[in-house]
Amino acid sequence: MQDLPAIGLGTWENTDPETCAESVRTALEAGYRHVDTAQHYENEEAVGEGIARADVPREDVFVATKVHPVRFGLAYDEVIEGLEASLDRLGLDSLDLLYVHWPVGNYDAAETLPAFDELIDRGLVDHVGVSNFSEDLLDEAMDHLDSPLFAHQAETHPLLQQDDLVAHAQAHDYHHVAYSPLARGDVFEIPEITEIAEKHDASAAQVSLAWLLSRENVSVVPKATGEAHIRDNLGALDLELDADDIEKIRGIERRERFVERNGAPWQER
């Protein structure tokens, strides 16, 4: 399995063009090498501008976006056209990783995923990913892909630990990419997290990210716009939690999911 940078810059809700471009530039020049966006975020052009501004070679930056089931659709031709439009907005010749954003709408593994293989064959995409899938849908996706599944992105944080999905990623040797890894800011109010942060003279954000990164095959894409938060999140790479810290976080009883949409695979049918 090819490496994926452990911490990426999430850009959801970063829709002001100048702020978005500058946050991407700042992150890359601070040491990030992974930038995550999506068609649905409506900021691909600004993300591309930030990549262009940064004093970092394009080949050193891992860029990911997501094909949306509504904005473009997930039929074969729609995936191809959607990716070409994303590349145009990003100002890039190719993409490191392309995700199916949600398995809803006109998503059909037998039609959608061969388009991803086609994009890899054409040299427009290096890796295939999916997002917000269940274990059954992940198995189905792998059955329909000629290319190896590279990543699955899912909401994952101390309040939604996703043990089964992480275990699936480990068993099948692909990356589990945690979005909303700070539980929409709630990690700053979780006693177990704040106690560990005080113990290590670290931030609650760093503790949450370090805990996620202590799990095999897991990467994180926290969103941040200001330089202070961008650099603080990156500091998680230097924080080593001990076994007691990890066990304390695993023992958090509160459970909460922040991201929902109609048709999500975890909803009752």
In sequence order, the 6+-apart residues with CB closer than 8 A to the CB of 238 are: none
> Among residues 41, 107, 174, 179, which one is catalytic?
41
Q: Is there a catalytic annotation at residue 99?
A: no
d(CA 155, CA 135): 14
Alpha helices for the chain (secondary structure H): 17-30, 44-53, 76-90, 109-121, 135-144, 163-172, 191-200, 204-213, 227-234, 243-250
d(CA 49, CA 89): 9
d(CA 15, CA 184): 17
* CA distances from residue 90 to 82, 84, 131, 225, 260 in whole angstroms, order as listed: 12, 10, 20, 18, 27
Q: Sign (positive/negative) of CA torsion 35, 12, 231, 170?
A: negative
Active site residue ranges: 41
